[in-house]
A and B are shown apart, each in its own frame.
Chain A
């Protein structure tokens, strides 16, 4: 049996941690104190890693997923970003069979062209009348869409008022999925950032307001919230929000926050990074 060098032994040690049996490695370790000590130390650490606690996902993650899947399977919402991208088929060779139908004689060519013109005019006039009728139907569809949007808005607002934090989270998620946010919904989300007792709802509301970060009123509300918040996570999320929105007017607010005593060190670091980003 070939004996391993120290280098070869190191290259195969990880296999033993995964339960592999390597006789050549065992032989090498028996005769090499250095490698045996290294193997023992690292194996002990490998074992100890198994004692690290196992983290568990929150219920909110499941709720969020179930809502997403429900909306996708019910076909209520099929965002373009989730639609399967079709594979473009290879282009077929262009067919030229229709060319055989075109007469060779110029007199016949003129006659066919005239017929086509008459046919086109008839279709065009008929389509005009049809489109006029269709316009009324389109107005109706637009009105229905507005009603649906307004119902969604009501649902979002109603969920944001619920006592249960999970329901309020649903409300935030719902409002985030709306194609455009109405002022009432924006206001409700700003209120959630400022007043909601649950940190997760506040964080989710900040995320949702990312859609309207170009609104100066929203940005100034986020600056005000930054001063009022005492949760480090929310403070950090607000700082990120203002950086993502490139809100240079926030530099003063962020500096005011940093000037306070007892600011969380991580928030302080993030604030320093934000000031540096916004000042560029």
Chain B
């Protein structure tokens, strides 16, 4: 049975940084879904998203000494996650990205609830438009729209001013709108 832990993420991570790895269990409980969803929105496939999530937790342990006491845990965690994703992108630069969860759909005859939902016309186009954005723009939309982070937090994570983040999010959304409408026209013709 899992016990309720009232410590904040910061307190837990500070203990982990001192060598008490047991705190990682609670941090995983609280954060693994958000991280998995972050990566899933970026890579579009289940298995790599799970691998990348696992890697973030391993790096949290490995680089626990870099956690600063005055730092926001969430910002630190997402900085690690961005590095993990950057390494992944570098490694798989020449691979063709999966579209609409293509590989998973082919693999199993019966679609999962996620796949069934994205098959709906508009949702599928929206999902695809997001997938077709350049990594840096997709990442901004994912962080601001899906991960529930404020522009200020995104600024801390990406090393930008809050105003710059707003401008970039606007541009990313504008580009996504253009891709979405192109896909819709393509589908209609």
The residues of A with any CB-CB pair to B shorter than 8 Å are 10-15, 17-18, 38, 41-42, 45-46, 48-58, 60-62, 64-65, 68-69, 72-73, 81-85, 87, 199-200, 203, 231-233, 236, 264, 266, 269-270, 273
Contact = CB atoms under 8 A, between A and B. Distances in A.
Contact of B118 (A15, A46, A53): A53
Interface string B119-156: 00011001100100000000001001110001100000
Interface string B20-53: 0110110010001100110011000011011001
Given A46-B145, A57-B32, A266 B49 contact: no
Contact of A42 (B36, B103, B151, B173): B173
Among A18, A42, A60: residue with most chain B CB under 10 A: A18
B4 interface: no
B113 interface: yes
Contacts, number: 137
B107 interface: yes
Given A264-B106, A266-B102, A65 B64 contact: no
Contact of B170 (A14, A68, A233, A273): A14
Contact of A14 (B32, B64, B173): B173
Nearest to A38: B174
Contacts of B46: 55, 58
Interface stretch (B54-62, B69-77, B82-90): B54-62
Given A42-B170, A53-B113, A55-B41, 17 more contacts: A10-B170, A14-B151, A14-B165, A14-B170, A46-B145, A48-B126, A53-B117, A53-B123, A55-B40, A56-B33, A57-B36, A57-B50, A69-B21, A72-B61, A231-B107, A270-B96, A273-B95
